[in-house]
Structure 1
Amino acid sequence: MTGSLFYFLTFLTLIAALGVVFSRNPVYSVLFLILTFFSLSGHYILLNAQFLAAVNVIVYAGAIMVLFLFVIMFLNLNKETEQHKSALVKVAGVISGGMLLIVMVAALKDAPVEGYNAATFNSQIGLVENLGKVLFKNYLLPFELASVLFLAAMVGAVMLGKKETGERHF
């Protein structure tokens, strides 16, 4: 059962990713990307990483894709206003993509591939409860410093986004 679900999710992920790349309509591209993120979340669940699956759905498929759709619809892209790319730009894109593929293959060719070992496998490793224990026990200071950094960034964003008026209120 799990094997057939894995192959189905893999097929769905690959088809949706190809739809992102080859779709001519940017809105369809974003919708295919959302489908890709959901199918990747299914892979995370199969790997017993429920926290990653939830974060992937909430952050990527939820917030960032809504932002992408908003920007695409705000720009009102259509064929009349879109600039046509020259052959040189297309060739440069293919060359840079091919070079990236070569670098990735060279970096991963010597990576060790380990299989499933039933003696050392811990089925509780990806659960949110265990992640919270490790996060608050071993990494409490970096976690709190990151939260203060995010708070400062939010205050800065509010201050930058606020309209300037003649008078200041503290």
Structure 2
Amino acid sequence: MNFWYFLTALTLLSALMVVLSKNPIHSVLYLVFTFFCISGHYVLLNAQFLMAVNIVVYAGAIMVLFLFVIMMMDLRKNMPDSKNTLTKLAGAILGGTLLVIMVAATRKMDLSGDATIANYSSQTGMVESLGKILYRDYVLPFELVSVLFFVAMVGAVMLGKREAGERNF
């Protein structure tokens, strides 16, 4: 149990560094480290398949895509000089609202642990049971995430084409 607390603290620290880092490359590297920490949590939850998918898909492919987009854009040209106070105020209000919602949702959770232990079996994190749950109970969110990834990829291609068209080669 002590390793879980250490891994959780490491995950939260690296996720905080993603947000606080001024260099976008460092933010992506902290995000990769965060994904590896989350994979450690999957191992502790006996979900080896999710751990492997998290490392291969997120820490591998998605981070390569993020790095490609960051390298493709000229961030010095697109950086505003400073954020105005309205933008800062809106960010603070939205962040505070999200914090209040998360605290309210956490307070309503049942933390007794009886329900999770009763539903646990040796096949909990394996591919067959995960596939049944994913494609039976969560098919709509699964498809929405795939559409979201597709839209992000098309957006990255459109940004790349627009910038390539602006250059006079």
Fold shared by both chains (TM-score > 0.5): yes
Q: Which ranges in structure 2 are unaligned for 5 or more consecutive residues?
A: 159-169
Q: 1:122 to 1:114 in 2, by over 3 A?
A: farther
> Which digits, 9 at most, give the CA deviation of each residue in 1:64-111, with x for residues without a partner?
111111111111313x65102112211110111101111222233212
Q: 1:8 to 1:93 in 2, by over 3 A?
A: same
Runs of 4+ aligned residues of structure 1 deviating over 3 Å after TM superposition are 116-121, 129-132
User: Does residue 70 of structure 1 match 2:68?
Assistant: yes
Matched AA of 2:9: F
Aligned to 1:56: 54
Whole-angstrom CA distance in 1 between matches of 2:129 and 2:101 = 35
Helix, strand or coil: the match of 2:75? Answer: coil
Whole-angstrom CA distance in 2 between matches of 1:96 and 1:87 = 14
User: Does residue 46 of structure 1 match 2:29?
Assistant: no
Whole-angstrom CA distance in 1 between matches of 2:30 and 2:43 = 20
Moved more, 105-114 or 90-99: 105-114
| Same amino acid, percent of matched pairs | 53
Aligned partner (choices 27, 31, 41) of residue 29 of structure 2: 31
Aligned to 1:105: 103
Whole-angstrom CA distance in 2 between matches of 1:119 and 1:85 = 51
Q: 1:126 to 1:62 in 2, by over 3 A?
A: same
Aligned to 1:93: 91
TM-score (norm 2): 0.70
TM-score (norm 1): 0.70
Matched AA of 1:123: S
Matched AA of 2:113: G
Aligned partner (choices 13, 18, 21) of residue 19 of structure 2: 21
Aligned to 1:164: none
More helix by share: 2
> Which digits, 9 at most, give the CA deviation of each residue in 1:6-42, with x for residues without a partner?
1221121111111101100011001101100110010
Q: 1:4 to 1:82 in 2, by over 3 A?
A: same
Helix, strand or coil: the match of 1:103? Answer: helix
Pairwise CA distance, 1:119: 6.5
Moved more, 37-46 or 116-125: 116-125
Aligned to 2:162: none
Matched AA of 2:123: Q
Whole-angstrom CA distance in 2 between matches of 1:85 and 1:119 = 51
Helix, strand or coil: the match of 2:109? Answer: coil
Q: Which ranges in structure 1 are unaligned for 5 or more consecutive residues?
A: 162-170
